[in-house]
């Protein structure tokens, strides 16, 4: 999982896209996703992917992390594309471009926007309980990663892993999962109580004025419009 | 255990739109039905369950081509309805990270959500009669069978799986260089030939062998986790019998 690295990029970045507001970036994400999923033109999609890579470059996204995360969509779309290549090379490429293009779009949003800000914006529209689960899952993930890391190390040090004894491994694995869950439950319950002590009563209070648009928002909105218009023109040319 | 790893642009729009619609209706119905104030205190448990699922679904087991979901476990620990909500959250986060297309989140929620719904409901029904551990094994096995059947039916209906030969059902054996995966469902070229020790299986025989192993493994691990909880914190398992979960 690369959630920690993505989170670090989103929180510490200072590019134009990092400074843009959540609504404008969500708008751009929707426009880009619509363009990627709806397009049937290989050249237009290829161009869109080049634009997306340039955007990642401008936002100074770490390409090492990006390549790791793009492996999933690329690999799965490649397998399906292999069947499509029998029809035509364009059909095969289209599948690969759509799979990796959509992943590039969502990763761009995550690499330039801290999760908490996305949840804060969504909390205005989604049920408070759902937003809370998203928010606490995000927090819990980091607690869990720490727990898993230290537990796996102690299992190995204390001889709990037997390469050729599946039964013992399954038994130890279940105990490890149970122990991790239990520890993490207790830590997250404590975290929740601390939230309550600090005045948390569900949802995320929004202190930002989303409707106040700045220069970075203008750039993002113009870019979104440019991409949508560009894709529509490309469709009509077909 | 079941998870559709198809990228965006492969599943016809009508399918994924209906998948989103039904899964969102179920999520909103569950959230509307529960007592928000009562459930709020259990958010840490739901979140932790979601975090566990995020990790287990990202790590393929290696020796057999699949990963565990623990959705049935989620149904048992947080309740069937809230387990379904947890599955939606997990699928959404995984899709944002490129693990499964963003357009198939709804379909994945329905397929994996069945594990939470069926597993949680069956566990609630059975545990009074047979005890926690046997009930956990049976409930998980039933839930996994249901979700796998649903996944195969869906994949065959869109032409990704050959229902006659069984080709295309299993996860791949290739893994990402970071060790996180590379498994896929429905699209593998060589998945009709698997080796189990000295025995080579092909077609539905291979599919059934892998599914059988996967179901046994996840059922046993889930039951052992439930047994562990019953020993040290039975209140967590007993919470699941509350009416509004």
**Mean of the pLDDT values across residues A102-125?**
85
Residue B90: what pLDDT? Answer: 92
Q: Which residue of B has its CA nearest to A93?
A: B9
Q: Give the CATH number, domain containing residue B21.
A: 1.10.1760.20
- The reply to whether B112 falls in a domain is yes
Say which residue, A209 or B232, is predicted with more confidence.
B232
Contacts of B33 (CB under 8 A, 6+ apart): B81, B244
Per the CB < 8 Å rule, is B236 touching A185?
yes
Residue B25: what pLDDT? Answer: 95
Q: Is the pLDDT of residue A197 over 80?
A: yes
Instruction: Provide the mean pLDDT of chain B.
Output: 79
pLDDT by residue (tens digit) across B74-112? 999 989 999 999 999 999 888 887 777 888 899 999 999
**Mean of the pLDDT values across residues B231-237?**
83
**Mean of the pLDDT values across residues A196-225?**
78
Say which residue, B146 or A62, is predicted with more confidence.
B146
- The reply to whether B210 falls in a domain is no
Residue B89: what pLDDT? Answer: 92
Residues spanned by the domain of B121: 13-161+219-239
Tell me, yes or no, whether A98 and A18 share the same domain.
Answer: yes
CB-nearest to A99 from B7, B32, B41 is B7
Residues spanned by the domain of A185: 127-197
Tell me, yes or no, whether A170 and A109 share the same domain.
Answer: no
Residue B239: what pLDDT? Answer: 67
Tell me, yes or no, whether A21 and A90 share the same domain.
Answer: yes
**Mean of the pLDDT values across residues B141-152?**
90
Say which residue, B8 or B44, is predicted with more confidence.
B44
Distance CA A88, CA B81 (A): 45
**Mean of the pLDDT values across residues A197-203?**
76
With contacts defined as CB-CB under 8 Å, which chain A residues touch B41?
Answer: 192
Residue B185: what pLDDT? Answer: 43
Residue A70: what pLDDT? Answer: 83
Cβ burial of B13 (10 Å; 0-12, 13-18, 19+) is exposed
Scored b (16 or more CB within 10 A) or e, B17-40 reads eebbeebeebbeebbeebeeeebb
**Mean of the pLDDT values across residues A136-146?**
80
Per the CB < 8 Å rule, is A139 touching B10?
no
- The reply to whether B226 falls in a domain is yes
Tell me, yes or no, whether A177 and A71 share the same domain.
Answer: no
Q: Is the pLDDT of residue B118 over 90?
A: yes
- The reply to whether A207 falls in a domain is no
- The reply to whether A204 falls in a domain is no
Range in A33-42, A146-155, A162-171 the model is least confident about: A162-171
Range in B28-42, B86-100, B170-184, B189-203 the model is least confident about: B170-184
Chain B, window 56-75: residues with a beta carbon less than 8 angstroms from a chain A beta carbon:
58, 70
With contacts defined as CB-CB under 8 Å, which chain A residues touch B96?
Answer: 106-107, 109-110
Residue A50: what pLDDT? Answer: 92
Instruction: Provide the mean pLDDT of chain A.
Output: 81
Range in A7-21, B1-15, B55-69 the model is least confident about: B55-69
Q: Is the pLDDT of residue B183 over 60?
A: no
Say which residue, B194 or B138, is predicted with more confidence.
B138
Please give the angle made by the CA atoms of A42, A45 and A51, to the nearest 5 degrees: 145
- The reply to whether B108 falls in a domain is yes
Tell me, yes or no, whether A164 and A82 share the same domain.
Answer: no
- The reply to whether A112 falls in a domain is yes
The alpha carbon of residue B27 is apart from the nearest alpha carbon of chain A, in Å, by 9
With contacts defined as CB-CB under 8 Å, which chain B residues touch A140?
Answer: 44, 47-48, 50-51
- The reply to whether B54 falls in a domain is yes
Residue A94: what pLDDT? Answer: 87
pLDDT-above-90 percentage for chain A: 8
Chain A, window 66-105: residues with a beta carbon less than 8 angstroms from a chain B beta carbon:
68-73, 75-77, 79-80, 82-83, 94-95, 98-103
pLDDT by residue (tens digit) across A9-45? 888 888 889 888 888 999 999 999 888 888 888 888 8
With contacts defined as CB-CB under 8 Å, which chain A residues touch B174?
Answer: 75
Residue B188: what pLDDT? Answer: 43
Tell me, yes or no, whether A39 and A114 share the same domain.
Answer: yes
Range in A152-161, B38-47, B104-113 the model is least confident about: A152-161
If one counts the domains in chain B, the total is 1
Q: Is B6 on the interface with A (CB under 8 A)?
A: yes
Range in A24-38, A48-62, A79-93 the model is least confident about: A79-93
Residue B36: what pLDDT? Answer: 78
For testing contact with chain B, the best of A73, A125, A184 (most B CBs within 10 A): A73
pTM for the model: 0.80
If one counts the domains in chain A, the total is 2
- The reply to whether A23 falls in a domain is yes
- The reply to whether B4 falls in a domain is no
Tell me, yes or no, whether A105 and A220 share the same domain.
Answer: yes
Q: Is the pLDDT of residue B170 over 70?
A: no
Residue B200: what pLDDT? Answer: 64
Tell me, yes or no, whether A117 and A141 share the same domain.
Answer: no
Tell me, yes or no, whether A81 and A153 share the same domain.
Answer: no
Residue A115: what pLDDT? Answer: 81
């Amino acid at each position: 999982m690369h959630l920690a690295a993505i989170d670090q990029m989103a929180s510490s970045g200072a590019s134009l896209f990092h400074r843009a507001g959540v609504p404008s970036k969500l708008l751009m994400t929707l426009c880009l996703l619509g363009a990627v999923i709806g397009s049937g033109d290989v050249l237009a999609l290829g161009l869109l992917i080049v634009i997306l890579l340039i955007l990642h470059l401008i936002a100074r996204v770490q390409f090492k992390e990006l390549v790791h995360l793009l492996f999933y969509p690329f690999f799965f779309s490649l397998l399906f594309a292999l069947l499509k290549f029998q029809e035509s090379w364009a059909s095969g490429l289209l599948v690969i471009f759509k799979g990796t293009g959509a992943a590039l779009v969502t990763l761009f949003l995550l690499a330039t926007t801290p999760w908490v800000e996305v949840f804060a914006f969504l909390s205005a529209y989604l049920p408070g309980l759902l937003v809370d689960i998203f928010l606490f899952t995000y927090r819990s993930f980091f607690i869990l990663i720490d727990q898993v890391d230290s537990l796996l190390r102690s299992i190995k040090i204390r001889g709990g892993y037997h390469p050729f004894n599946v039964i013992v491994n399954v038994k130890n694995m279940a105990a490890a999962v149970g122990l991790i869950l239990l520890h993490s439950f207790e830590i997250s319950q404590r975290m929740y109580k601390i939230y309550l002590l600090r005045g948390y009563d569900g949802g995320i209070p929004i202190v930002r004025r989303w409707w106040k648009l700045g220069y970075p928002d203008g750039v993002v909105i113009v870019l979104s419009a440019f991409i949508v218009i560009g894709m529509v023109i490309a469709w009509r040319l077909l | 255990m079941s998870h559709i790893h198809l990228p965006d642009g492969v599943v016809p729009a009508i399918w994924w739109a209906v998948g989103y619609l039904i899964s969102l209706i179920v999520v909103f119905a569950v959230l509307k039905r529960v007592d928000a104030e009562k459930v709020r205190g259990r958010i840490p448990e739901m979140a932790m369950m979601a975090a566990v699922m995020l990790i287990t679904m990202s790590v393929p087991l290696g020796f057999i081509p699949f990963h565990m979901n623990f959705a049935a476990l989620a149904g048992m620990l947080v309740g069937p309805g809230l387990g379904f909500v947890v599955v939606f959250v997990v699928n959404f986060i995984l899709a944002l990270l490129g693990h499964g297309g963003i357009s198939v989140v709804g379909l994945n929620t329905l397929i994996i959500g069945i594990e939470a719904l069926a597993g949680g409901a069956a566990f609630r029904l059975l545990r009074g009669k047979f005890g926690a551990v046997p009930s956990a094994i049976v409930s998980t096995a039933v839930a996994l069978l249901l979700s796998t059947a649903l996944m195969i039916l869906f994949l065959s209906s869109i032409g990704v799986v050959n229902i006659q030969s069984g080709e295309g059902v299993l996860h791949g054996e290739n893994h990402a260089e970071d060790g996180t995966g590379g498994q896929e469902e429905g699209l593998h070229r060589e998945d009709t030939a698997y080796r189990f020790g000295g025995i080579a299986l092909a077609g539905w025989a291979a599919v059934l062998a892998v599914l059988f192993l996967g179901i046994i493994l996840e059922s046993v691990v889930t039951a052992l986790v439930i047994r562990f909880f019953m020993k040290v914190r039975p209140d967590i398992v007993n919470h699941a019998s509350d009416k509004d979960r």
